């Protein structure tokens, strides 16, 4: 009777141990799955962060390239926009000074409505309230003396802050009698050193 009772106890303990092992195995499997999911989650986060960092690097690189391009373009800008207003409904208005034109007629040219014209002192503005031209060849000019002399119709130079005057040796009387000109911008590329 005692031997039979011991066997029952042993069998019961064996069943308990088996159930305990199954439970422990289930717990280990569940923890393994949790760890796997956590690792997968961390890998996804790392991949996402790596992609974001890569995109940030590309954006920074592109921004640097764009800024460099803009800086280079501005530094070497070879054309400026010039705006005049026909206040008195005149047939023609003065756009450049006589001396400036005679000094630079072979160095630059004018674009008006996409048409090219040689440098001139006056231009036909009949039936025009406002005139907008583009002066091309700025980098070729070394003498800006009397450039806008007596240009009473000159009202705006939107690109003046982009003009590089390092090669210009004379800027005297450049804006004499430009009574309507409005300039209220910083002029980072305008150098007045060694200028007459």
Q: Does the pLDDT at position 62 exceed 60?
A: yes
Specify whether the CB–CB gap between 119 and 147 falls below 8 A.
no
Specify whether the CB–CB gap between 84 and 154 falls below 8 A.
yes
More confident residue, 106 or 23: 106
| Residue owning tokens 């208005």 | 93
| Residue % of the chain over a pLDDT of 70 | 84
Supply the pLDDT for residue 70.
59
pTM attached to this predicted model: 0.60
Instruction: With H, G, I as helix, E, B as strand and everything else as coil, classify residue 25.
Output: helix
Of 141, 142, 130, 143, which Cα lies nearest the Cα of 95? 130
- The mean-pLDDT minimum among 25-34, 52-61, 66-75, 123-132 falls in 66-75
| Residue owning tokens 């800086």 | 71
CA 76/CA 57 separation, integer angstroms: 28
Of 175, 151, 32, 19, which Cα lies nearest the Cα of 93? 151
Instruction: With H, G, I as helix, E, B as strand and everything else as coil, classify residue 30.
Output: helix
- Tens of pLDDT along 73-124? 555 578 899 999 999 899 999 999 999 999 999 999 999 988 999 999 999 9
Supply the pLDDT for residue 126.
87
Q: Does the pLDDT at position 46 exceed 90?
A: no
Please, which pLDDT band fits residue 5 given cuts at 50, 70 and 90?
low
| Residue owning tokens 């040796």 | 169
């Amino acid at each position: 009777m005692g031997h039979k009772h011991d066997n029952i106890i042993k069998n019961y303990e064996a069943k308990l141990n088996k159930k305990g092992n199954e439970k422990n195995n289930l717990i280990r499997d569940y923890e393994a799955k949790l760890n796997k999911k956590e690792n997968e989650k961390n890998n996804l986060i790392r991949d996402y962060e790596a992609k974001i960092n890569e995109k940030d690097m590309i954006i920074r690189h592109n921004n640097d390239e764009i800024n460099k391009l803009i800086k280079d373009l501005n530094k070497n800008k070879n054309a400026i926009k010039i705006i005049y207003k026909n206040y008195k409904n005149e047939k023609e208005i003065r756009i450049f000074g006589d001396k400036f034109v005679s000094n630079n007629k072979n160095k630059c040219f004018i674009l008006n409505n996409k048409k090219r014209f040689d440098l001139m002192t006056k231009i036909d503005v009949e039936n025009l309230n406002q005139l907008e031209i583009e002066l091309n060849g700025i980098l070729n000019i070394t003498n800006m003396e009397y450039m806008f002399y007596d240009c009473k119709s000159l009202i705006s130079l939107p690109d003046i802050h982009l003009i590089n005057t390092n090669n210009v040796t004379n800027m005297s009387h450049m804006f004499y009698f430009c009574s309507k000109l409005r300039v209220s911008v910083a002029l980072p590329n305008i150098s007045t050193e060694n200028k007459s």
